[in-house]
Chain A
């Protein structure tokens, strides 16, 4: 409905609270440098929930350049916010989806924030409700995998509904996929694709060999998912949340 966009009372962009993450070490599925299998993530802060429809609507009102139909095709594909005008019922408290990487970055920048890096996101995503690193908890991994295995035909539930993870962060799994700043770091981006073959062969031919844990299917799915994206891509189950440096607004 256009109602959502143009008749709603203008409200200020209300930022989600930031949770302090003290950082830590983790083993990425595809370390950037195979000689360094463990990556250390410094302290940062992460929004406790994915950005909601209501929050994003306020952003669009303040920044009309990001309204549906106004965004150039290089920055968002044609399904950008397509359900806002399709008559679909969207609650303010649902996570916003159908947003491109460019749009997500612009939203965070408007708050003086940024997207989390893949390492930051993955570090927090390793926490179950009671452990900071649950990556060896097979039952927990199976739960995540089960969510990946289901198509997104149901209405998305509201953000922040379940129990937060050990960091106090909600919805890292089971609600929407999320953008990260360097989503395309595990494959070669379109820009460097033609440049040289060394990077490519690392990920195409020898991929299974260099992976850290070929049994962590949930992690594979996230890497595969991010690899399928371009900065302009929008989908019905891809949202985001913002991060901030340790010291900042």
Chain B
């Protein structure tokens, strides 16, 4: 019932004290109190002095509630509009709860009475409010928290239902406030608490709409039209492409039991949340009380959440993705969990065989081996590279570009006598390494297609392939050296894990 109210008020909220009475009256049915009865004794007046809530920035989670009675909990949350990187070299003006995206994590106990203070920083341009899905009451707090810059509002609510809930700004135009990062999670623990685990983390997905293309440099404004069309430029965990990768990756040790609090702020997209190389032992799907077990991918609605739990048995890097997989590959929905500890070969062996397999495209692998030896000896010749490149080309490239290099229709451009290929060797190296999408012109013909990055190839292999195609099919060019490839690779770094 509460969700009905939430939806209606979310549609457009200017902070009035009004309510949608029909929906509210429906909520007064006895069945809505099931949670109270089950909780038995969870409710009642707050006990003891008021407690100031510990708020944490993602990916950290506040400590578990250590109380057996309800309390009065004071939450102070500041809205800050600020410029932060959304990707490398790309800035965005985020609107935040607490200075981060997602906003500060709030952790309370069922039955607690929360005294909520929303502060709108004086430098902010916009009025804001907050709708917490954990609130039972019209607007989820939105009506009572509408606050102009340089002002603060206060309201109180009792946390009647346990669960993991989203909060978000509900000021019109709601979509823009959410698209700019105004969401976070509030956990309402049941009276008995959650089972202890070794580590807890806070991850939240969101979709982003910028005027510039994905990774177009500079300060990128919000694009209203793309938002309306639900055509996301970025899909990200924790508000930036680097939030959970490299040095910022989540950490764990072999054998530990991990709990992730995962939310989806939207505003538009539903998440197919998946952790590559792990199976969730338990999922509190939709953030509720029921538990599903042995889950590969869990669906998290926009404005919803899930608690996932798993044990990490083998060391290595586990990659969080939205398994609507183009979002991971092309829009940034990638995070990492790095697990350290002793190998567990019985659970996962690592690579046991690494050999070329060319199937029906079989070409003698001998030239590749010969080129490798020549490279090591420093005697690599153009002819050796061409031979090795030909073998590699037939395994990797010929499916699309065709064995004769003439391409296929209007989809795969020709390499044969190709002006595009021959014009700029560094560009060609970049295309092999990083892929290419969007319109290009080859020999006067326009192509608008996608080539995936050939990130499985090493520098030697890329050099051989390019040397081959630049000296075949009517092309005539120099040898391409592995050093050239290495230089291009070094200047066009892609995030680890993006190649999944």
Contact = CB atoms under 8 A, between A and B. Distances in A.
Nearest to B151: A233
Interface stretch (B106-114, B142-150, B356-364): B142-150
A149 B127 CA distance: 12
Interface string B11-29: 1111111111100000000
B146 A142 contact: no
Contacts of A188: 16-18
B51 to A, nearest CB: 28
A223 B149 contact: no
B369 interface: no
B14 A186 contact: yes
Contacts, number: 128
A227 B11 CA distance: 16
B127 A227 contact: yes
B143 A215 contact: no
A198 B442 CA distance: 65
Given A204-B9, A211-B12, A217-B173, A235 B150 contact: yes
Interface in A136-179: 138, 142, 145-146, 148-153
How would you classify the secondary structure of chain A's contact residues: helix, strand, loop or mixed? loop
Nearest to B127: A228
Contacts of B147: 228
Contact of B222 (A77, A149, A197): A149
A172 B123 CA distance: 20
Contacts of A234: 150
Interface string A192-203: 010001001101
B21 A197 contact: yes
Contacts of B8: 205
B149 A215 contact: no
A68 B127 CA distance: 24
A236 B173 contact: no
A224 B224 contact: no
Contacts of B17: 188, 193, 200
Given A150-B125, A233-B148, A204 B18 contact: yes
B150 A236 contact: yes
B16 A221 contact: no
A204 B148 CA distance: 18
A205 B18 contact: yes
B440 interface: no
A207 B93 contact: no
A200 B139 CA distance: 13
Contacts of A77: 151
Contact of B14 (A79, A148, A223): A223
Nearest to A141: B224
B123 A153 contact: yes
Contacts of A223: 14, 172
Nearest to B12: A207
A177 to B, nearest CB: 8
A93 B19 CA distance: 45
B211 to A, nearest CB: 8
A5 interface: no
Interface in A190-249: 193, 197, 200-201, 203-205, 207-208, 211, 215, 217, 220-221, 223-225, 227-229, 233-237
Given A187-B14, A223-B172, A229 B224 contact: no
A185 to B, nearest CB: 12
B450 interface: no
Given A149-B180, A200-B18, A201-B21, A215 B228 contact: yes
Interface of B: 8-9, 11-21, 81-82, 93, 121-127, 139, 143, 146-151, 171-173, 176, 180, 211, 221-222, 224-225, 228
25 contacts: A145-B221, A146-B221, A151-B93, A152-B124, A152-B125, A193-B16, A200-B16, A200-B17, A201-B20, A203-B14, A203-B18, A204-B20, A215-B228, A217-B173, A217-B224, A224-B126, A227-B14, A227-B146, A228-B127, A228-B171, A229-B148, A233-B148, A234-B150, A235-B151, A237-B125
Interface of A: 77, 79, 138, 142, 145-146, 148-153, 186-188, 193, 197, 200-201, 203-205, 207-208, 211, 215, 217, 220-221, 223-225, 227-229, 233-237
